Amino acid sequence: MRSRSKGFWQRLYCRSPLWRMKISTKITCLYAAILLVVLLLTSAIMGLGIYFSFYHEAETEIHIAMQNVQKGLSSSRSLQAFLKRGDLVPPGVVMRVTDLTGSVIYENDSHYPSLDVVEDHRVKDPPFWAAKDMEVVEFNRFMMYYTTMDVADHGQLYQFHFFRTITAEKNFLMELQRLLFLITIAGTLVALLAGYFLSNRILQPIRNLTQTARKIEVERMDKRIEVPPAQDELSELALTFNHMLDRLERGFNQQQRFVSDASHELRTPVTVILGYSDLLARWGRSDAKILEEGITSIRSEAEDMQDLIEKLLFLARADQKRQVLHKDFVHLDELVDDAVRKMKLVAKEHTVRLAVNEPGIIYADPATMRQMMRIFLENAVKYTPAGGHIAVLSHRLPEKGCMELTFADDGIGIAQEDKDKIFERFYRADSARTKKAGSIGGTGLGLSIASWIAEQHEIEIAVESELDKGTKFILTIPLAEDDESDTSDKEG
């Protein structure tokens, strides 16, 4: 029911004119409506307070007069003696005494209307704030309270009539009501004008932000929002928008660089394949040497293209969070031993050795862990000249709850300014220095893939390198929670 009611009000709002208004207009109308309600409530409370004060004051004075009469009668010998006193009722209260026939035997103010006139002007439905034990009498210019009290004296019954003016000037209260109404209308108009002016001023930075956003295009992503000097929500919005633009610009530049580098990497093998295809079409049928050379080169370039495409697809799936990992409890020492053994078969011109390989269980995806280790080993081989040494060390650090896996080489090293760039896609070291290693250039995607795999396994990577002295990649790999029991089972 609540969701249906919410949907009804949403549809009603979307169909109303408010839905098409500007935010500044909505804020102005909202503030004006709130002020109007506040002014109306204030005026109503003020008017009721004035009326209640007048009525209550009159009621209190009549009650005092009635109490004084009762006390005076009890202390006087007779009614006549009591009526001769001059302090019978408080000032403002009119008292009139009549006998059984209705004849007036005493009154302290003869200008008040007669009892018949008072009865004719009695209000049948008095306001709710009037006292229940009082009659309300209304004339053209004033209103008054009226009540009676029966008194017996020497076997005779007399009736005391008490009158007290409630509103001496009825017209004054009417004028006061008109004045409060006019003040309410004027206040609402002022609120509309002031609210419209202030909302425009307050929302101006948002309009500037919108205009700037409209001017930003793919070719002009360096433009930024001017941050207001005030430390408020608008400045925070501008800063957030600028940070978003910074990220978009970096992402767009990275995408452009990615497309450019990928195109460059693919263009070279495609050009080679087309060249050898043309060569084979002309001379391959008659020259067996050219035929063999062309087939070998085309196959080599095709394999390089396949490797590049597989890496691009891996990174694309990783960016889209579609790269699936099948994690399980695995022995890290077995993965390390397997990776080093396979690299020894490939790197014939280098000395690859497993210096230390302590046991440890980790929670990881075996396939991607092997891929990451292979990337670091291939990277070491690639940037280490023939005859160089590559060492792998796996230490168990139980006090830190992790394994420390190190890939060390004595190759060409990494310049200090390049350390923060080696994990970027398509980044490769200076080609002039890589020639020292005597190895072919790669795609520059391997370390990017290794960095992603490490991030998915909460592995920290540290790099220690010095030019012409070698490089160390130090991986801190978390141990599994049940490592102790599994390790002891393995040893047993």
> What tens digit of pLDDT does each residue of 336-390 get?
999 999 999 888 899 999 999 999 999 999 999 999 999 999 999 999 999 999 9
pLDDT in tens, 273-310: 888 788 788 877 777 888 888 888 888 888 878 877 88
pLDDT per residue as tens digits for the range 24-82: 677 777 777 887 888 888 878 877 777 777 788 888 888 888 888 888 887 777 777 78
Band the pLDDT of 487: cuts 50, 70, 90.
Answer: very low
Residue 324 has pLDDT above 80, yes or no: yes
For residue 2, the model assigns a pLDDT of: 54
- Looking at domain 328-491, which CATH architecture does it have? 2-Layer Sandwich (3.30)
C-alpha–C-alpha distance, residues 295 and 160, integer Å: 134
Give tens-digit pLDDT for 391-413: 999 999 999 999 999 999 999 99
DSSP secondary structure code for residue 417 in this structure: G
H or E stretch at 328: strand 328-331
Average pLDDT over residues 411-418: 88
Exposed e or buried b per residue across 185-201, where buried means at least 16 C-beta atoms within 10 angstroms of its C-beta: eebbeebbeebbeebee
* Percentage of the chain modeled with pLDDT above 70: 84
Write down the pLDDT at residue 430.
Answer: 52
CATH of domain 49-174: 3.30.450
Mean pLDDT, residues 311-336 taken together: 86
Q: Which class in CATH covers the domain with range 233-319?
A: mainly alpha
Mean pLDDT score, 418-441: 62
* Strand ranges (E), 350-468: 351-357, 361-364, 389-397, 402-409, 460-466
Rounded to an integer, what distance in angstroms lies between the CA atom of residue 404 and that of residue 41? 74
Where do the structural domains in the chain lie, given as residue ranges? 49-174, 233-319, 328-491
CA Rg value for the chain: 50
Q: What share of the chain is helix, strand, coil (3-state, %, to 5)?
A: 55, 15, 25
Reported pTM: 0.51
Would you state the torsion angle of the CA atoms of residues 51, 53, 55, 56, taken in this order, to the nearest 10 degrees?
Answer: 150
Q: Return the axis-axis angle of helices 233-279 and 288-319, rounded to nearest 10°.
A: 160
Q: Tell me if 440 sits within 8 A of 388, measured CB to CB.
A: no
Alpha-carbon dihedral angle through residues 328, 331, 334, 337, given to the nearest 10 degrees: 110
Helix orientation angle between 170-215 and 233-279, rounded to the nearest 10 degrees: 20
Nearest to 315 by CA among 160, 476, 450, 172: 450
234-271 per-position pLDDT tens digit? 778 778 888 888 888 777 777 776 677 677 667 767 88
According to the model, what pLDDT value does residue 102 have?
83
